[in-house]
């Protein structure tokens, strides 16, 4: 009889891509395994998961709105409705195990799975566990983490250090520099910086690059600038025909492997999934954590690398005044760049998806 696995969570690419990676690994290990995703209606997983070839069911659940207390009034009712729907989903699917990767849907699905006595596994991506996962961890059978020292959040005997699952296609960059540069119409032999604010973009990073375009041109540094679809039209309008030849402006990167291969240095937010990819790439990185995330976990993720001299950390507040100058000074320092790339590369854990998938199957057995 085929084993049945429910994977819950999403909300951002940082949750969705690891979830899909775990699902793909499960299918590699057991071709007849049945997988059902549970996400939050209206969030990006409802499109990305089917595009990856998996079925998904949505819950009407949301997070706490910190800007408008009125919008939180319906939250308790949505939670109760999501718990009841989660119960129906688990029962009708006949799940053998439930996996939570974080995001709105993960909470109610794993809560109900625990209530029904179903074995659960948490994949905690960040160096700082949120309130929901800390509570769920008390009943979870296994907690797969990406950072050391997570015993301050979870029972030690349940923790397994696995790293975060990554998109393997995104980090396979060996020998692709020439074709990557050609795809962006950039020149070989020139220093190239990749600026990425994630799938949604990052206003701070966009403002920094916009203000620093002349400095990049003066130093003859090329820039691959992934600004996010939300900001793309406005930036195109602002720049019109004034976009320098050394800068490629894109709303979204369809080929992350090309972007990573072309780059000599990377400027990025500090989401857990992104950091795991950056470790696998092994190139010098400047991290500018987003301040707009729960428990400021991006700053904690970035500090975990900066304390090991594996990345440069610049706060969101400081970025507008020092980021571009720091980039240009660093990219000219080849010894420092080599050291950063070497140290971040040593933190890579490339087989996290299969390690986690094997743990999922063990819980069924």
Binding-site residue ranges for UDP-N-acetyl-alpha-D-glucosamine: 12-14, 126, 167, 199, 298
Who's near 95: CB < 8 A, 6+ residues apart?
Answer: 4, 5, 6, 36, 113, 118
Beta strands 247-250 and 222-226 are parallel
Element (H, E) at 81: helix 75-93
Annotate 299-352 with DSSP letters as a single string: HHHHHHHHTTTSSEE--HHHHHHHHHHHHHHHHT-HHHHHHHHHHHHTT--TTH
The CA distance from 261 to 247, in Å, is 16
Strand, helix or coil for residue 59: strand
Annotated binding-site members: 12-14, 126, 167, 199, 298
The CA distance from 268 to 228, in Å, is 13
With beta carbons less than 8 A apart as the criterion, state whether 43 and 104 touch.
Answer: yes
The CA distance from 14 to 270, in Å, is 10
Residue 167 main-chain phi, psi, to 5 deg: -75, 105
Annotate 189-200 with DSSP letters as a single string: TS-EEEEE--TT
Beta strands 247-250 and 265-268 are unpaired
Taking CA atoms, 248 is separated from 65, 69, 266, 279, 326, in Å, by 35, 41, 14, 24, 21
With beta carbons less than 8 A apart as the criterion, state whether 190 and 223 touch.
Answer: no
């Amino acid at each position: 009889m085929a084993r049945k696995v429910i994977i819950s969570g999403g909300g951002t690419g940082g949750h969705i891509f690891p979830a899909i990676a775990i699902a793909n690994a499960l299918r590699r290990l057991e071709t007849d395994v049945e997988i059902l995703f549970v996400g939050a209606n209206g969030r990006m997983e409802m499109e990305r998961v089917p595009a990856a070839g998996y079925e998904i069911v949505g819950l009407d659940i949301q997070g706490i709105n910190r800007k408008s207390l009125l919008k939180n009034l319906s939250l308790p009712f949505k939670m109760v409705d999501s718990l009841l729907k989660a119960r129906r989903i688990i029962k009708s699917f006949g799940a053998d195990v439930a996996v939570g990767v974080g995001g709105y849907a993960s909470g109610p699905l794993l809560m109900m799975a625990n209530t029904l006595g179903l074995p659960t596994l948490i994949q905690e991506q960040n160096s700082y566990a949120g309130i929901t996962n800390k509570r769920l961890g008390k009943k979870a059978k296994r907690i797969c983490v990406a950072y050391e020292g997570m015993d301050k959040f979870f029972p030690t005997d349940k923790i397994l250090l696995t790293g975060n699952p990554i998109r393997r296609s995104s980090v396979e960059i060996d020998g692709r520099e020439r074709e990557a540069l050609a795809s962006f119409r950039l020149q070989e032999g020139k220093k190239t910086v990749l600026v990425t604010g994630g799938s949604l973009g990052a206003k701070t990073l966009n403002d920094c690059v916009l203000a620093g375009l002349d400095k990049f041109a003066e130093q003859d540094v090329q820039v691959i600038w992934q600004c996010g679809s939300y900001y793309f039209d406005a930036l195109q309008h602002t720049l019109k025909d004034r976009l320098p030849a050394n800068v490629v402006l894109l709303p979204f990167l369809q080929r992350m492997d090309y972007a990573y291969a072309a780059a000599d240095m990377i400027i990025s937010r500090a989401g857990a999934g992104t950091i795991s990819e950056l470790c696998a790439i092994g190139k010098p990185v400047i991290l500018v954590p987003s301040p707009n995330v729960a428990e400021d976990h991006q700053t904690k993720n970035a500090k975990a690398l900066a304390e090991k001299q594996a990345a440069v950390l610049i706060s969101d507040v400081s970025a507008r005044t020092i980021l571009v100058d720091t980039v240009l000074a660093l990219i000219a320092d080849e010894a420092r760049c080599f050291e950063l790339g070497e140290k971040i590369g040593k933190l890579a854990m490339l087989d996290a998806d299969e390690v986690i998938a094997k743990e999922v199957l063990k819980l069924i057995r």
